[in-house]
Every structure is written in C-alpha cells, then in structure tokens.
Amino acid sequence: MMFERRINADLVLPRYYAFATKMPPLYAFLAAAMLAVMVLFRGREPVLASLAIPAFLMAMACIRGWWWYRHRDDAITTEQAQARLTRAIVLLVGAAILAVVMVLSLSSAASAEEKQFLSLICVLAGLVGLFCLSNLRYVAVLCTAVTLFPAVVQYFSAGTMPAMLSGLVLLLAVASLACSLTSSYDEFTTLVRSKLEIQQLDQENVRLLSIDMVTGIPNRRFYFDALSAALAAKDGAGTMSVGVIDLDGFKPVNDSYGHRVGDAVLREVAQRLSEAVPQVKGMSRIGGDEFAFYLDSVTDPSDLMQIGQALIEATQHPLVVGDLTVSVSCSIGFATYPESARQADILFEYADFALYHAKRTGRSRSEIFSAEHRALMSAEDSIEQALRGADLQTELTAMFQPVVDMVTGRVLAFECLARWNSPTLGSVSPSAFIPTAERTGLITPITLAMLDKALIEMRTWPPSVKLSFNLSSNDITSQLAVLRIVGLLAKSGIPPSRVIFELTETALLHDFSTARANIERIKATGAQIALDDFGTGYSSLSHIQNLPLNKLKIDRRFVLDIETNETSRMIVRALVSICEGIGIDCIVEGVESEGQARTLGSLGCNVVQGYLYSRPIRSRDIPGLLTRLAPADAISA
C-alpha cells in the first residue's frame, strides 16, 4: 500500500478486520459533521465550500459507511484485503484534504464563533481519525495532521496568548496520543504475530502428527483422515479401492543389519511406492513395514492386479544402502468400495485380511477381498469365538507322527500334532484353527495344553524315543510363554534332552533378536532346537549360521519331484552337506514313496518323516507302530 511503509503480509488480514469494524463509526462522524456544516453555513458563499463539498463528503460517508458495515466480516484473501485497504485509505486522505479546503474557504468570512466551530470540527475529526485508523499508524498520523492543520493555523494566527497556548496544548495532546498510538500499534502487532506464530506452530504440529518420521510420507493418522474424507466426498456414489501393503523379507534385513539400514530401506521403498503408479493416492506408512493407499474410481479386478504387480515390481529392484545391496518384495491386499464395504475402517480391515491371505498363500502377490474371503473371515470369527470358550484340556487331542532312521528302521522321535474337536464346530482342521489362534494371540494356551499332554504320553515311550514339538512365532517371541514352557518341561520330569522344539523360519521373522534370546533360554535347559520347513522363508542360511540349532528339517516341497527333478536333488544334496559340515542333523519331511526314500538315501539323507512310514496316530497306537517299524523295514541306501 502506498501510504503504509512497513507492510507485513502476515498482518494484512488482522489489520483489515480491525480497520473494517471502525469504518462505520468514522464515516458516521464525518456525515454528521458535514451535515452540521451545511446547516450552519447554508446560503453562504462560496457555495462550493458551504454546500457542494460537505454534501459530497456526507454522501460518500453514508455510502462507504454502509458498505463497510455490510462487508466488515467478509472472508477474503490477503490480496483482496490489501486492495480494499488501499482504496479506503485513498478515499480517506482525499476526504481529509477536501475537508481542509472547505474549512479554509469558510473561515475567511466566518465569525469568531463560526471559526471556533470549524476548529472544533477539525480537532474532533483529527482525534476520531487517530483512533479509528490506529492500526494503520502512518495513515492515522497523516490524516490527523491534515485535519488539524486549519485549527492550529487559526490558533496561532489569532495573535493572543490564550489562542496560541490553546494551539500549543492541542499539538502536545495530539503528540501524546500519537505516542500512545505507536505503543498500542506495537502491542497490536505483537499480539497478532504471537497468534500467527501459535497458528503456525499448531499447523506444524498437525503436519508432524500426520507425517511418518522415518520415511517422510504420511502416517496412519493422515491416511485414515484422507480415506474418510475421500469416502465422504463419494457420498454413496462412485467407486474406489483401498490397498494395504506388507513388505516381504524386511525383517531379516532389519535384524541382520540393524535399524539404520532398515530405516534406509523403508525410506527408499516408501519413495518407490509413492512414485510407481500415478493413480495411487494417499500412500502412507501405517506402521512397521506396512503401507496403505487408495485408488479413486478403480475397482476392476484386472486393473487392481496390474497396479498391484507394478507396486510389487517397484519394491523388488535391489536396494543399495551404503556398501550393502539388499532385496525385499511385498504382498498387497485390496478391498473395493462400495462392493466390499462403505466405512473406512471396515474397508481397511477387509484389505488387510486379503493381504494376510496373500501372504499365507505365496507372498509377493496381490489379492482382492471377495465373497470367499468374507466366508473365511466368518469361519475364522467362529473359530476364534470357539477357541476363546474352549476347554483345551478336553477338546484338544495329541497325535504323533514318527521320525525314522531309514538305515536302521528305528523310530528316533515322534512329532506332536494338535487335533481339535469343538463341541460347537465339530472337528476343526489344524490348518484352520492354528493360523486363527496365532493371529488372535490364542496360540500359547494351545501350546501349553498340547505340551502338557505330549509330556504325559512320553512317559510310556522307550527312553531312546524323543518328542518333537512345534512352537509358534507368538511363543518364541514371548519371554513369558518361554518361561512357562521351560517350567512345564521341568515339572514333567522328562529329561529335557529328549525334547526337540521345532521353529519355522516364518516365526523367526517377527522378532529375530527376541526369538534368538528365547531359543538360548530353551537350549540352556538341555532341550534341542530344530528349524522346521527349511527353504520356505527368507535368509535361510543366515538362520543356520546365527541360531544354536541341533536339527534342520527340509520342507516337503523339495521331495515332491525329487525322483525326476535334478534341481531338487542338488538342493537337498547341498543342504545335507551343509548340515554335515556344521554338525547338525538333517531331516526330510513329506516322504510318501519308497522311490523318494531311496533317492534321499542316495543323497546322504537317512532321517525322514512322512506317510511312507505312518500317518499321525494316537498315543495308544505307538507301541504297535514301534513293533511294526523294525530294522527289517529299513530301506537300504
């Protein structure tokens, strides 16, 4: 603004609104003063000063005063406020100059009393202007100086001591008010700036609360706010999809190289996911190695799978962190609006379930929530409710499958397998209730109940036969669960050396450092540790290297085609060689035919488990099995 030398953009709007509230009374005073002048000097010469100018100023005051009254609360931009202030100041300064011209013209032929009236008008106009324009101090001083000029001239030109002293007192009073105005202006500026700083801090706090500090992309809070807003904008019309991403293979990287490398990987993955597909909106880190996003007006299954594949491929390119090169991938679950659900939290839950199913059935793939998933969720909910109310001691049954030395035909151990017969659901497959129990945190009570049953059954076995018992990821990453397992083992009276605890590679991915510490606690009792389903997880060789293992169980997938697939034979031969080299036993699962057994024997693996020797049996059938599996049944390598 031309009259305001110290414009600050942050102060424009506060000044404007303070200014706008004072304009109606200022113009009301001006209109009343001009009316008084026209009444007092009606019919006088010059007509320009006695009628035209005051009539014009009064009309302008009425129009502008009414305009400001109507528009004092308008929501406007900084630029609009600045333009209005500029226009108002030009009009006020112009009105002050016209008023001075009018007073000087009328004073030349006015009586002493009329001159006093004109001086009073000037003084009052100056004081009212000084107050009403206080938030624009330079403009206030200018307008006050202009309007006071005729009064000061009149006082000092009178030549009398009282008049001159009156003029001096007037100048001192105005100067005092101007100083007070400066102080008030500074206080106003300080107050406004304090409020602006508080607003900026609030905005920054909101921003920080919405940003993930590791990756720099939005966080869970932002995501659900954005998703809810996007759904509200749909208002029941249109379509969209929600996607949830979980990284595959990130935990081994984080556990092996530390959080510094893990955080760098998360940052790079977050950037790739944010930039990989233009249609993706609201890409956010939900927590850990999980991300979420949404797609506007994209629900076609083929389009979703294509987008999912593009995101998966974006994460699969090698990541370079310093001198390290690491690789991860991801799995993705989708849920569509409005087909799957209409609420943000339910859509996310369904997408998360589809993700969970994708990871269970292969990883590095996308899956869309469907009617099949809804049925699975319903079944899992029923299983969860039944588990929560189950009498585990009576409803669970222990079954046992032998681990056999093919050379001697001797049974080395029995693996304990859980079976559940629910009063409400009937017989429930382990493939159904074990994942549900793990997901809902109900697995440890099952573990303890089954271990107690197995240890009791062991008392009737030959001392040379061991128990092989599975622990879940929840068990091995819980210090309390491990302490209860160790306590149960000690209470049973069974020598710990006769017990083998099996862990899957997947279980180790949840929290490797905690799992290793708990494995050490179990190993300290004298019990043995086996790594189960070897070859289905990540960083398998590093697990062999970094864990105190006694045994390694090769997953059945390498056995299915071992008679015809040279690659499978080479992998098994290499694993057997590694086990021999580091001094641990190698066991192969899933042996179902004599041909498979002979092939494994030729590769140097003589300890096996599978239907060839026995399906899982009850404890009461173990004596008969031990009699049947005599050395005469051994298969020669």
H helix intervals, 389-478: 392-395, 430-440, 443-458, 473-476
Contacts (Cβ under 8 Å, ≥6 apart) of 81? 12, 13, 15, 16
| Omega prior to 338 cis, within 30 of 0 | yes
Tracing tokens 């179990």 back to the chain, one arrives at 522
**Cβ-based neighbours of 531, under 8 Å, separated by 6 or more:** 502, 503, 504, 505, 543, 544, 547, 549, 551, 552, 553
The helix/strand/coil state of 522 is helix
Q: Which residues pair with 325 in a beta bridge?
A: 320
Q: What is the DSSP letter of 593?
A: S
Task: Assign 193 to helix, strand or coil.
Answer: helix
C-alpha closest to that of 435 among 359, 533, 489, 498: 359
Q: CA-CA distance, 81 to 12, in Å (whole number)?
A: 7
Query: In this structure, what are the phi and psi dihedrals at residue 203, rounded to the nearest 5 degrees?
Result: -65, -40
Of 97, 151, 117, 94, the C-alpha closest to 44 is 117
**In the block, which residue shows the tokens 């989708």?**
334
Count of Cβ atoms closer than 10 Å to residue 522 Cβ? 22
Contacts of 82 (CB under 8 A, 6+ apart): 1, 7, 12, 16
Cα distance between residue 442 and residue 462, in whole Å: 33
User: Angle at which helices 137-157 and 78-107 pack, to 10 degrees?
Assistant: 10
Query: How far from 349 is each of 311, 330, 331, 343, CA to CA, in Å?
Result: 20, 18, 15, 10
**How far is residue 524's CA from residue 508's CA, in Å, rounded to a whole number?**
19
Helix (H) or strand (E) holding 119: helix 112-132
With a CB cutoff of 8 Å and minimum separation 6, the contacts of 209 are 219, 221
Distance CA(34)–CA(147), nearest Å, equals 14
**Are 516 and 547 a contacting pair, CB within 8 Å?**
yes
Catalytic site residue from 290, 589, 592, 594: 589
462 contacts 626 by C-beta, under 8 angstroms:
yes
Q: Which residues contact 76 (CB under 8 A, 6 or more apart)?
A: 13, 16, 84
Q: What is the DSSP string of 600-633?
A: HHHTT--EEESTTT---B-GGGHHHHHHHS-GGG
Bin 491: left if φ > 0, else alpha if -120 < ψ < 50, else beta.
Answer: alpha
Reading across the β-sheet that carries 366-368, which strands appear in turn? 280-287, 290-296, 240-248, 329-337, 366-368
Q: Does the annotation mark 589 as catalytic?
A: yes
**Which amino acids are annotated catalytic?**
589
